[in-house]
Amino acid sequence: MTILITGARGAVAKHLAALLRERGLDIRTASKSPGADVVCDLGDASTFPAALKGATSVFLYADPAHIDAFVKQAAEAGVEHIVLLSSSAVLAPDAESQPLAKSHLDVEHALWASSIKATTLRPGSFASNALSWTWTIKSGKPISLPYPGSHTDPIHEADVADVALAVLTNNEISGKPYTLTGPQSLTFAEQIAVLAEVTGVPIEARPVTREEWKAEMADYIPAQFADGLLDWWQSTDGRPVQLTDAVERLTGHPARTFATWAADHAGDFS
């Protein structure tokens, strides 16, 4: 069995690769950038055949650009199982009209329509999203929050990797969609307070309007994605996120807290 891991430079993929190697399993890391075992650019279908050759399972990042070609070539290469890193955004009633959600949904649809067994992992909010605040925190400036009371369900990337390991190595639990969350529903303000306590770094926040936040993020987030994020944050403002026990059920251990994630990444903020 050879497991192809796409997006090898991503945090989840790095954790997963280490876990699989610890178990002596044969893996092949793939990335569009140098440093992986093989080149696999999900935006360039010509890179698929070499990456997929001999693979029996795939850990796949969601990129809809050439998903039909990827699925077709995976089937031809003999791939039996694809584990997709999707998003819980696909569960929203308006997912088809939200660019970020639709990009994941398109990949899911392509997998479900194929002959290959597919397992979809749908994490909510990654705890690592807090890394977007590192420059602001290091510069001593306040973090701009359009919705300080918006709840998210921050999940540690290591927990997502643990779940991916479980479904890649246990046929009895594979072939299904799983919604993954962290163990707590926390507001952005609460997350900042946790970061400040765990890292010992003073962190301030300031409320801003939607338009002010979009202007600040204009160089980093396209307008259509920014609007989608803002709409989502508004929908969870003052409303705790529904949590799942999928991490514990699939891995046998409780999901790691945001404080644990903050301690693991304290050096990024100092």
3-state SS, 232-258, equals HHHHCECCCCCCCCHHHHHHCCCCCCH
Q: Is residue 161 situated within a structural domain? A: no
Write down the mean pLDDT value for the chain: 96
94 and 202, same domain (yes or no): no
Same domain, 4 and 97: yes
**DSSP β-bridge partners for residue 143:** 205
Residue 98 lies in a domain: yes
With a CB cutoff of 8 Å and minimum separation 6, the contacts of 196 are: 202, 203
Burial of 245 (0-12, 13-18, 19+ CB in 10 A): exposed
- Do residues 98 and 92 make contact, with C-beta atoms less than 8 angstroms apart? yes
In a domain, 57, yes or no: yes
Same domain? 77 vs 151: no
3-state helix, strand, coil in the chain (%, to 5): 50, 15, 35
Among 129, 205, 154, 128, which Cα is nearest to 213's?
205
For residues 74 and 133, membership in a common domain is answered with no
One domain, residues 117 and 57: yes
Report residue 180: phi and psi, to 5°: -110, 135
Tens-place pLDDT, residues 55-87? 999 999 999 999 999 999 999 999 999 999 999
| 40: CATH | 3.40.50.720
**CB 192 within 8 Å of CB 134:** no
Indicate whether 148 and 268 sit together in one domain: yes
Among candidate residues 104, 123, 142, the one where a domain is terminated = 123
The answer to whether residues 191 and 126 touch, using CB atoms and an 8 Å cutoff, is: no
Q: What is the pLDDT of residue 34?
A: 87
Residues 186 and 109 in one domain: no
DSSP state of 10: S
Q: Could you give the CA distance from residue 152 to residue 191 in angstroms, rounded to a whole number?
A: 9
What pLDDT, on a 0 to 100 scale, did the predictor assign at position 100? Answer: 85
pLDDT of residue 255: 98
Burial 202-222 (b: 16+ CB within 10 A, else e): ebebeebeeeebbeebeeebe
Instruction: Say how many domains are in the chain.
Output: 2
Are 145 and 60 found together in one domain?
Answer: no
Q: What is the pLDDT of residue 133?
A: 95
Instruction: Please answer whether residues 146 and 230 qualify as being in contact, where contact means their C-beta atoms are separated by less than 8 angstroms.
Output: yes
How far apart CA 90 and CA 197 sit, in angstroms, is: 34
Q: What pTM does this model have?
A: 0.96
| Structural domain of 58 | 1-123
Give Cα 129 to chain centroid, integer Å.
9
Of 123, 140, 166, the domain-final residue: 123
Same-domain check for residues 87 and 209 = no
Task: Please calculate the CA angle 132-157-113 and round it to the nearest 5 degrees.
Answer: 105
Does residue 234 form part of some domain?
A: yes
Q: Please tell me whether residues 9 and 142 are part of one structural domain.
A: no
Same-domain pairing of 59 and 148: no
| Residue 84 falls inside a structural domain | yes
Q: Are residues 94 and 146 in the same domain?
A: no
Q: List C-alpha distances in Å: 19 to 210, 247, 252.
A: 41, 16, 15
Successive 10-residue mean pLDDT values, the chain, 270 residues:
95 98 97 94 97 98 97 98 97 89 96 97 97 94 97 98 98 97 98 95 94 93 87 95 98 98 94
